[in-house]
Amino acid sequence: MTQHTRPVAIINDGSFYVGPPLARALAASGYDIVVGDPADGLVAELEALGATVASVSQVRDLTRPENPQKLVQTALDVFGRIDSAVMFSGLIVTGSILKSSREDLDKVYNGCVVAPYEFLKATLPTMVTQRSGQVLLITSASAARPTPGAPLYSSMRSAATMLAKNSAMEMAKNNVQVNAVGTNFMDFPEFRRATGADDPETRKKIESQVPLNRLGGVDEFAHFCMPYLDGKSTFATGQFVSFSGGWS
């Protein structure tokens, strides 16, 4: 069998948020793509950019270990390699810690800590064998500082960021890079739902908390992520960088 020569990227969720623009950016950079639950029309877009695409359905819940394993196995079955892997997960949960419940804590823990843990456990072994690869965890800028109104979310995102840093230290001897990036104040439905930013007056108040005085876009965030995935700069590992308009 002819060895596959084009680089291969796994994107855990191609249905929303930064998944589709990241897939497009990687395809445009010469990557073939394994994408979970792609949005309608996304596969055709990626193929038009020259990528070979393998889609995997019903893998959105990364807390189930079989789902990230399906993404990895598809990459190996179709392409025989994994060069880059990126994931995002977790719901934004707000409210006072005194009014929170154990159910709230478990929900945030599962989405923000268990999911990236299972993704790392699934993707890293192949990269160790290859002695190359890049993994990017998308956590949250709230991991970088106390976040009023979101104590559980901020704490669990911080745990995921530290998981990336610890994994990077362990993987460095295998020439595998693990990094994390985190967002806040993003112009996408989940953030607007959690903060009420669909209301124009509320949005103005929220934007006033951002040094750049606006919300961030998912397309520009995709470009921000690319240096940690495109194989062109592999001397950075164990890093966390905030994408939050100067908030953190």
* Domain parsing of the chain, residue ranges: 8-184+219-233
pLDDT value of position 190: 82
Nearest to 87 by CA among 7, 170, 160: 160
Q: What b/e string do you get for 115-154 counting C-beta neighbours within 10 Å, with b at 16 or more?
A: bbbbbbebbbebbbeeebbbbbbbbbbbbbeebeebbbbb
Confidence category of residue 64, pLDDT binned at 50, 70, 90: very high
- Phi/psi for 96 (5° steps) reads -70, 145
pLDDT value of position 175: 98
Instruction: Calculate what percentage of the chain has a pLDDT beyond 90.
Output: 91
pLDDT value of position 139: 96
Spatial distance between the Cα atoms of 138 and 90, rounded to a whole number of angstroms: 10
Mean pLDDT, to the nearest integer, of 91-98? Answer: 88
| Topology given in CATH for the domain delimited by 8-184+219-233 | Rossmann fold (3.40.50)
Residue 1 has pLDDT above 50, yes or no: no
Confidence category of residue 193, pLDDT binned at 50, 70, 90: confident
Cβ proximity of 183 and 136 under 8 Å = no
Residue 130 has pLDDT above 70, yes or no: yes
Cβ proximity of 215 and 207 under 8 Å = yes
Residue 169 has pLDDT above 50, yes or no: yes
For residue 10, the surrounding DSSP H or E stretch is strand 8-11
pLDDT value of position 94: 86
Nearest to 181 by CA among 97, 87, 48: 87
Neighbouring C-beta atoms of residue 224, cutoff 10 Å: 15
Mean pLDDT, to the nearest integer, of 89-103? Answer: 91
Question: Structure pTM?
Answer: 0.94
